[in-house]
Amino acid sequence: MASLIPVTTTRIGDHLPLLDLLNSDAPLSWVRNGEGLVGWGVHATTTVSGKDRFEKARTWWHHQLETFAVANSVHGSGTGPVLFTSFSFDRNEESVLVIPKVIVGQKSAQSWITWIGDTPQPVLPESPSQYSQGTFTFGGGSISTSAWKERVAEAIKRVGSSQVDKVVLARDLVAESTTSIETVPILKKLAAEYPSTWTFAVDGLVGATPELLLRLSRGMVTSRVLAGTIPKTGNDEKDLALAASLARSSKDLEEHEYAVRSVADALEPFCSSTNVPESPFVLHLANVMHLATDVTGALIETKQRVDAFSLLQSLHPSAAVCGTPRNIAFDIITEIEGMNRGRYAGPVGWIDASGDGELGIALRSGQITDREIRIFAGCGIVAGSSPEKELEESNAKMIAMRSALH
């Protein structure tokens, strides 16, 4: 019988900011306002796909856990061995699972390190790694902007014919660099500009999402729903007026209600109680404002513990990235969107050995492939949508990634 692999978690003192600890060795990130988890090195990785991909991911993760001898003196969510995940939007595309060799976590005033293997505690760097990014040139996407507006018009027609209440259409842009693209500088720029978002990186997918699909910790579940968006002008007085108009917009409130209801309905079978606020608040980011609602719930106590994989199976894809009704909206996306989303708009984040975790929706993101990066944005199409305004909204959503490449 093979001997178990040591996994050690212990508290640590002062260290560099989390993102400054990363280097080019398979960087992994889930950081918000300077707190969260980063990892590097690859202990094990795999891909899953198909309608049972969340079950396959759980099975693989549990198999890996059986090979570990864990010494965890810290305890709590995110300590001990952690699985970083990036699931595809479409179940038939590949999702990526990564167990890093080293993880550093920070929450409030507490920091810890986890490492895999029979080795001394890794020495953390005292200064950040230095990078030299190349020059980026932006090209087109999978389809032209005029073709995309035609698809939006077609989606509006489908909504008008009562086939569907809401459908989310996404588009992409490709940027090419003069050198191989490094993940870490992009992460650090995103975190500096959008500190209240969750800055993530898993296997070349990098971004800063404002939307928390799932936080599961000790039987409590939280999901932050975003739907309904308006670009900022940079003028505080005008932006306050725009925020007020967003909060009153029947089109945006309708779009938001579909997204909130889809999340609440997905969580209800697992929860003894849920809390869904009556009205959303306006979330202010550097470039846009969103209608936002935090849905919370207490899990039902059962013999077979509900974990993050179970909830993901029910939650994804939500109306915020797919539409309502979900199956019909998904079929329309497949038919008319005109591109492969890959892992854009899929769940991204981490899951620990207890099944707790934090996963966002991979928005405001790009997929790196050597010298090329595809950046994405999507818009919710409802009865009151217009192709021109949806194009404007998608451009505003791309600003985060475009600016991080300069």
Residue-wise pLDDT tens digits, 9-51: 999 999 999 999 999 999 999 999 999 999 999 999 999 999 9
pLDDT surpassing 80 at residue 302: no
Alpha carbon distance, N-terminus to C-terminus of the chain: 53
What 8-state DSSP symbol labels residue 356?
-
Q: Is the previous residue joined to 195 through a cis bond, with omega within 30 degrees of 0?
A: no
Per-residue model confidence (pLDDT) at position 70: 97
H or E element, residue 330: helix 326-336
Per-residue model confidence (pLDDT) at position 406: 85
pLDDT surpassing 90 at residue 373: yes
pLDDT surpassing 90 at residue 350: yes
What 8-state DSSP symbol labels residue 319?
T
Per-residue model confidence (pLDDT) at position 7: 98
* CA distance readout (Å), 29 to 181, 207, 345: 17, 10, 17
Say how far apart CA 288 and CA 226 lie, in whole Å: 12
- What phi and psi, each to the nearest 5 degrees, are found at residue 187? -55, -45
Name residue 217's amino acid. S
- Number of neighbours of residue 182 by Cβ within 10 angstroms: 20
| Secondary structure of residue 208 in the 3-state scheme | strand
Say how far apart CA 84 and CA 45 lie, in whole Å: 9
pLDDT surpassing 90 at residue 335: yes
Say how far apart CA 23 and CA 187 lie, in whole Å: 11
Which parts of 124-249 fold into alpha helices (H)? Answer: 145-160, 183-193, 236-248
H or E element, residue 350: strand 347-352
**pLDDT tens-digit series, residues 59-92:** 999 999 999 999 999 999 999 999 999 999 999 9
Give 4: exposed, middle or buried? Use CB within 10 Å, 0-12, 13-18, 19+. Answer: exposed
Per-residue model confidence (pLDDT) at position 303: 56
Per-residue model confidence (pLDDT) at position 163: 82
**pLDDT tens-digit series, residues 234-263:** 899 999 999 999 999 998 998 899 889 999
Contact 293/280 with Cβ under 8 angstroms? yes
* CA distance readout (Å), 18 to 37, 38, 39, 126, 209: 7, 6, 9, 12, 17
Domains defined along the chain, listed by start: 5-121+135-404 (3.60.120.10)
Q: How far is CA 217 from the centre of its chain?
A: 18
**pLDDT tens-digit series, residues 152-169:** 999 999 998 888 999 999
pLDDT surpassing 60 at residue 344: yes
Q: Average model confidence (pLDDT) for the chain?
A: 95
Contact 15/104 with Cβ under 8 angstroms? yes
**pLDDT tens-digit series, residues 188-229:** 999 999 999 999 999 999 999 999 999 999 899 999 999 888
Contact 16/186 with Cβ under 8 angstroms? no
Say how far apart CA 255 and CA 322 lie, in whole Å: 12
* CA distance readout (Å), 108 to 20, 33, 34, 105, 267: 18, 10, 9, 10, 28
Per-residue model confidence (pLDDT) at position 1: 54
